[in-house]
Structures are given as C-alpha cells and as structure tokens.
Amino acid sequence: MERIPQQPLPAAPDAVRAGRRMIDSHGRTILDLRISITDRCNFRCVYCMEPDVRFQPADRLLTPSEIVRMAGIAEGLGVRKIRITGGEPTLHPELEAIIAGIRSTTRVEIAMITNGSLLTRSALAGWKRAGLGRVTISIDSVRADRFARVTRSTATPDDVLAGIDACLAEGLTPLKLNAVLVRGVNDDEAVDLAKLARRFGVEMRFIEYMPLDSAHAWDRTLMVPAAETRAAIEQKFALLPTGADDAHSTARTYRFADGAPGTVGFIAPVSSPFCGACSRLRLTADGFVRPCLFSTTEWGLLPLLRNGASDADIERFLIDVTWTKLSGHQISSPTFTQPARPMSAVGG
Ligand code: SAM
Ligand code: SF4
C-alpha cells in the first residue's frame, strides 16, 4: 500500500492544548471518533476495495488494548460517540472484547458499521451485552446477481436481510442501513432500497459515491447525486422532511408522507458538502489518526503507543492533529487529489 510521508506535527496553540478538547483551527470540536479495528474484509465492493488488495501485517495493526486505551483518552478529550468500523469489523476475532473494553472504561455511545453478512443472533446478543448500542448495516442491492456484482463476494442479499432481522430481534435499534449507488451499476434500485425502510421500520440512507475507492476509478459521472436519488424515490413515495436532523448529522432525513414506518436519509458529501459541521476524527486500523476522510496527511500513533508515551502525551498529540484539520475536502476543486488510502483503510 502506498504510504503517506510523515511530516513533523505542528503544535496547537498553548491555550488550545490547555483546554483538553479536540478543537480545530476553524472552530469545530471533535465529538465522534471512528475506529477502524481491521483493514480486512470478506467483500470487495466495487466502490471501495480492489480484489487484489494487500492487507497490513498483524503486527502493524492496533491491538485490542491499544484500541481500548485510545477510546478512553478520546473520551477524556470530549468524544461522546465511538463508531467501530473497518474493513469488516465483524471479522475481528476479538470484537466482543474490544466492545467490552471500551464499555468498561468509558461512557461513550458505542456504534458499529458492518456489511451485515456475518450477523447471527448469538453474536449480536454477545456484542450487545458487551456494550454495543447501535448498528448500521450496508446493503447496496436487493437483487442476488447485482449484490454479487457490487460486493464481489459469495454473500447474498438474504444474508444481509437476515442480519437486519437479527439486529431488530436483539433490540439493536434504531437501526440504519447504508447504500452507495453507482451509475450504471445499481442506480436503478433507489425505490427498492427505500422499500427496506418501510418493511423494517428503519432509516435507509443513500451515500454519494466518494473518491475513496482503492481502484481510483471514481469519476463524478459515476456518482448519483442525492437530489437525483430523492427524486427517483419521490416518483413512488412522497417524502416529507423529518425535521429531526441535528447540526452534526451527515444525513438529511425524510419520512414517508403516507405514514408508512421508516425514514430515508441522504448523505451528500460531494454535491452538498457538510464539512462546516464536521465533528469527526478517524483512527485507522494501523494506528494513524486522520483529521478527515480526504486527508492527504495522516499522523502515526504506533510510535507513541509502543514507546511508552503517557496518556497526557497522546492527548497532546490528538489535540495537535485536530488543530491541523482542513476546513473542507475540496472534491470539486480542479486541484483535488484523491487520498492514497481507500475508505476501507481510513475507516468509513
Ligand atoms: N465493511 C463495513 C461496511 O461496509 O459497512 C464497514 C466499513 S465501510 C468502509 C463503511 C461505509 O463506507 C459503508 O457504508 C460503505 O458503503 C461506505 N463506503 C465505502 N467506500 C465508499 C465510497 N467510495 N464512497 C462512499 N461510501 C463508501
Ligand atoms: Fe468491505 Fe465495507 Fe469496503 Fe465493502 S464497503 S469492501 S464491505 S469495507
């Protein structure tokens, strides 16, 4: 994998360091940490991971105790929510221990995002007992042939639908579903996917395809804008704004005018960037902190974690990294450079 050259990390102003909050130079505060616990995945989604992807050696990945330690330090700096992601987090053999470790050392909300192919009721019950609060499941197609083409896996939509049922049965609610529509691949499925919201009484969210694919094949023409997806759904179901979106939310959400259960959400980072309200920081599976999905600079934690740094040293490091967070992603700028690392490595 292409490595990003490390640069010296500039220090945040003393007053910012003293405040013990992760605040960037544009006035935003980090409240939400996304931790990728593995770069491995059993899918190879066309918009994310190439079939010949090379994973990091195990000794380059954060250990469960390092992940738990980072969660505690982040909470001390004001983080309220941790989302466990990947790669595919359910492949991690110590997922339950990681959740339990975060739960026993923090009071943060613990959420997880998964491709939903490996969800059994007993595994979900164990994760819930350990402290998992909420789950988001990705599903890009309800058609078996299409699903295989998008995910390049042997899993089926029925596996994921069973995973959705299992989450609901275990009370891991409110449940959200995510889909990425790619032009010419699954862009005719907006209505069928919206029907999942009505069938399960959950939020079905459509995320615009972002230039974060490991093939670097993204092109604006392949991205289906949120407005187009919404218009397609409205051909079948009238939508009304829920009016419930909070300031840091990435999605604009709508309910069905006919009173059916469920909602649909649109996440439009490309056509209507929401960087101004961003409260997120990302920790990669191999121990880099990234201020933004689109960062072309990332900051290595392993030297600190593995050479005896104190919690105060790591706090200072996180505060300094946050101070470097850029105001926005510039996808629409002619000089935009796609980051070397794909979504699966960054932790979506
Ligand atoms: N494997 C899990 C899953 O698929 O839900 C968690 C990791 S995945 C990287 C997290 C989310 O990122 C998924 O909802 C996926 O659809 C989304 N994603 C991946 N690549 C993307 C891209 N290029 N543009 C937009 N969303 C993307
Ligand atoms: Fe795996 Fe999730 Fe990326 Fe698909 S989107 S390849 S399931 S990490």
User: pLDDT of 140-186, one tens digit each?
Assistant: 999 999 999 999 999 999 999 999 999 999 999 999 999 999 999 99
Closest-approaching ligand to the CA atom of 346: 1
pLDDT (tens digit per residue) in 276-298? 888 999 999 999 999 888 887 88
Residue scoring higher pLDDT (118 or 2): 118
Position 6 confidence tier, pLDDT thresholds 50, 70, 90: low
State yes or no: pLDDT of 1 exceeds 60.
Answer: no
Check residue 217 and give its pLDDT.
86
Distance 296 CA to ligand 2 centre (A): 21
Check residue 329 and give its pLDDT.
74
Check residue 194 and give its pLDDT.
98
pLDDT (tens digit per residue) in 49-95? 999 999 999 999 999 999 999 999 999 999 999 999 999 999 999 99
Closest CA to 70 of 84, 90, 59: 84
Pairing mode, strands 280-283 and 288-290: antiparallel
Per-residue pLDDT averaged across 20-24, rounded? 96
Check residue 311 and give its pLDDT.
98
**Summary mean pLDDT of the chain:** 93
Check residue 343 and give its pLDDT.
67
Position 249 confidence tier, pLDDT thresholds 50, 70, 90: confident
Position 3 confidence tier, pLDDT thresholds 50, 70, 90: very low
Identity at 242, one-letter amino acid code: T
Identify each DSSP E strand in the chain by its residue range: 32-38, 81-86, 109-114, 134-138, 176-180, 203-207, 239-241, 251-256, 263-267, 280-283, 288-290, 299-300
How far is Cα 94 from Cα 37, in angstroms, rounded to an integer? 10
Phi, psi of 180 (to 5 degrees): -115, 120
> Is there a contact between 58 and 302 (Cβ–Cβ < 8 Å)?
no
Position 344 confidence tier, pLDDT thresholds 50, 70, 90: low
How far is Cα 94 from Cα 240, in angstroms, rounded to an integer? 42
Per-residue pLDDT averaged across 237-243, rounded? 97
Check residue 347 and give its pLDDT.
63
> Is there a contact between 310 and 280 (Cβ–Cβ < 8 Å)?
no
| 212 close to ligand 1 (CB < 6 Angstrom) | yes
Identity at 214, one-letter amino acid code: S
| 270 close to ligand 1 (CB < 6 Angstrom) | no
| 86 close to ligand 1 (CB < 6 Angstrom) | yes
Position 97 confidence tier, pLDDT thresholds 50, 70, 90: very high
* Ligand 2 interacting residues, C-beta cut-off 6 A: 41, 43-45, 48-49, 86-88, 115, 138, 344
Check residue 252 and give its pLDDT.
94
Phi, psi of 70 (to 5 degrees): -65, -35
Check residue 38 and give its pLDDT.
97
> Is there a contact between 271 and 227 (Cβ–Cβ < 8 Å)?
yes
* Cα atoms in the Cβ-side hemisphere of radius 13 Å centred on 44: 11
Check residue 256 and give its pLDDT.
98
Cα 122 to Cα 64, 156, 159, 219, 323: the distances in Å are: 21, 20, 15, 41, 42
